[in-house]
Chains A and B, each alone.
Chain A
Amino acid sequence: MPFRGFFSNLRGAISRRSTDTEEPLPNQEELNRVPGAELSSRLDPWWWLVVAVAFVIVLLLVLKSDPYWNILLFVRDGLAITVLLTVVSFVFIVVLGLLGGLGRIAKNPVIHLIATLYVEIVRGVPLLVQLIWWYFAAPVVIQAIGRLLHISAIANYQSNAILLAIIGLVICYGAYMSEIFRAGIQSIHQGQMEAARSLGMTYMQSMRYVILPQALRVVLPPVGNEFIMLLKDTSLVSVVAVADLTRRGREFMATHFNPIEVWTLIALLYLIMTLFSARLISWMEKRRRFER
């Protein structure tokens, strides 16, 4: 449903201008008092930046279709891989981050230790190194384990570049996400948990119905930030045999020798995706805003 918000934003902007001179909007005052419908949330001028970048891309494609249109045709499957990698990884990252965050605040010392070790170790190794490890080292390790256990299916394991890239991204980003969720949960006043527990709710019920819904509102901006960073960091998988947008760009350049056009277009494609994501996140933030 994000488009509805987008277009009503634009409509709001247009209709406001056209009615300014005719008659004052009668409900403006009342609308401003409705949570989530304040003037500021209906008009988001930064959508115009998305439109402007989209316009530049279209302009290049139309006015200089050779080479821009040819580049786009060549890299479009890479574009799809980049989107797929980002979306699929992100779903698992949120799940892993939630579990990691709960583990970091768990009273059980074993769970706490595992979650903390995970975060500390994974955070300390560069993402690129992790991706390379998963692609080159992990399959060898898996095959060795298979030989050790005499299970031929594992011993003959054939690596799947996209799958290993997703694993690498999820494990690395899951650590950062764990810290975001931990901070979000801890930002909710302790009295909320006490009130829920005093009503007889279990720890898990209190988390599920009282703490997490409130924490979600707090973590939405940093989680959105992670999404945008992830979208850009997927370009690193181009070094581990995944034909994403960046790798396809390199392949095109290798045969056509026109770096300026290739990397300008690729940069613009990343930019339009991140700008669009940023708008969606900001729109979601405003929708989730309610009276405290």
Chain B
Amino acid sequence: MSEPIIYMENVHKYFGHIHALRSVNLEVQKGEVVVILGPSGSGKSTLLRCINHLEVYNSGKIIVDGIPLKSAQNINAVRREVGMVFQSFNLFSHLTVTDNLTLAQRTVRKRDSKEAKEIAAKLLAKVGISDKAECYPGQLSGGQQQRVAIARALAMNPKIMLFDEPTSALDPEMIKEVLDVMLALAKEGMTMIVVSHEMGFARAAASRCIFMDEGQIIEQGTPDKLFSSPSHERTKIFLSKVLQL
């Protein structure tokens, strides 16, 4: 095994009295697709948000792509390499779709406007919404907005993509169009960490599933193994509830 692209060691996180992450250890290799499962409040999103330092962890060690998350400079360097997709899309509502994709390219990657626009157009074609390039986010459906959000993150050429419940805010018929984009991305070899309850996606794309509860990683393994023969009682209870649907 080579050097992991994400390395977390003994990470603790508190929200006031709440112990949100309890000694989390996690290694992710390049090209892995990791799906994190668990009941709400189990610390899945917190874990994800610690990786690009949207949440400040209280103790432990996180190294992303060889860069330890410490100084402000390092944090910005890590954020350039890590794309993030949010549950509520968080597109910049005052900018057109194209400007959403080019803003960070111009301000962070220092690309000129023409180059940034070319990259934006290519990515919009890839996620299948070229015809909405000049629309504002408010004019798009949820599924379209989330695909734009994925394209916006990809425009920065990230090495890692984080997905924080990307389909939870979507109507059922729009979930597939977003998952298809994510599946294609996984096939291309993108390193992905996905917090999601989409079991179909986990089966089809995940190289590893992680089950979390009460701020701890309870168990992990390939999706087949975890879903068919979970070893922990809590995992069994959770899966029996989720898989019933």
Contacts and interface: CB of A to CB of B under 8 A. Distances in A.
A30 interface: no
Nearest to A199: B104
B94 A213 contact: yes
Interface string B97-111: 000000110011000
Nearest to B88: A191
Interface residues of A, number: 21
Given A198-B84, A199-B108, 7 more contacts: A189-B88, A191-B86, A192-B92, A195-B84, A199-B104, A200-B80, A200-B156
A197 B83 CA distance: 10
B93 interface: yes
A201 B52 CA distance: 12
Nearest to B78: A200
A199 B158 CA distance: 9
A204 to B, nearest CB: 10
B107 A205 contact: yes
B102 to A, nearest CB: 11
Contact of A192 (B52, B83, B90, B138): B90
B132 to A, nearest CB: 12
B94 A214 contact: yes
A160 interface: no
A209 B92 CA distance: 9
A213 B136 CA distance: 14
Contact of A292 (B79, B83, B104, B138): B138
23 contacts: A189-B88, A191-B90, A194-B86, A194-B90, A196-B92, A197-B54, A197-B79, A198-B52, A198-B84, A199-B79, A199-B103, A199-B153, A199-B156, A200-B104, A200-B156, A202-B76, A214-B94, A217-B94, A291-B137, A291-B138, A292-B136, A292-B137, A292-B138
A3 interface: no
Given A191-B88, A209-B103, A200 B94 contact: no
Given A209-B103, A291-B138, A200 B108 contact: yes
Given A194-B54, A195-B86, A201 B93 contact: no
A48 interface: no
Contacts of A209: 103, 107
Nearest to A209: B103
B139 interface: yes
Contacts of B152: 199
A196 B88 contact: no
B94 A290 contact: yes
